Amino acid sequence: MIETIKYNNKEYPMHQVLGNGAQFAIPYAKHYCKGIGYDVGCMKKEWAFPNSIPIDLDFPDEYHALNLPQKNVDYIFSSHCLEHIPEWVDVLEYWHDMLKIGGVLFLYLPHYDQEYWRPWNNRKHVNIFTVEIIKDWMISKNFKNIFWGERDLNHSFMIVGEK
């Protein structure tokens, strides 16, 4: 039996309220995120991108989205984190600076069509993104090899670019 939640008379998969959305992006991200890198906002270390340095406010250290341990990393992977951060442009600028030339930024974000995740419905989210917004930001920072997917079955989208 598929467990669901109902929101505004629409059915959504129950797993969407439980966390660990990264599990749907990790198989794809493994093709791009290699070497030394971060999983920012993983929530639990066991949910982190494999072999990454997990970063989350809930961990007992001083690291967070705007304070990473070292610069010039090979990748930054982040799943369902950026929508919680008011200063998202500052965060993306900082992550850009933390990547080495040729480094990869891989984002997995909620898709607009999941009504529950919109900021006016879920106050934990302060932003809603589209592929176009993130792609335009990446282009403005001269990322290359930008690839993205539209909404998946987790009502989320992936976008990746190379610095």
- pLDDT tens for each residue of 43-98: 999 999 999 999 999 998 999 999 999 999 999 999 999 999 999 999 999 999 99
The contacts of residue 80 (CB under 8 Å, 6+ apart) are 19, 21, 22, 41, 108, 109, 110, 156
Q: Which residue has the higher pLDDT, 161 or 18?
A: 161
Is 12 within the bounds of a domain?
A: no
**Number of alpha carbons in the 13 Å side-chain half-sphere of residue 134:** 28
Is 87 within the bounds of a domain?
A: yes
Instruction: Print the domain residue range for 74.
Output: 19-162
Distance CA 33, CA 161 (A): 11
CATH number at residue 59: 3.40.50.150
What letter would DSSP give residue 78?
E
Q: What is the pLDDT of residue 17?
A: 82
Q: What is the pLDDT of residue 154?
A: 93
Query: Given pLDDT bands bounded at 50, 70 and 90, which one contains residue 7?
Result: confident
Cα 121–125–128 angle (5° rounding)?
A: 90
Is 2 within the bounds of a domain?
A: no
Query: Given pLDDT bands bounded at 50, 70 and 90, which one contains residue 104?
Result: very high
Task: Kindly report, residue by residue over 124-156, the tens digit of the pLDDT.
Answer: 999 999 999 999 999 999 999 999 999 999 999
Q: What is the pLDDT of residue 41?
A: 97
How many separate domains does the chain show? 1
Is 68 within the bounds of a domain?
A: yes
- pLDDT(39) > 90: yes
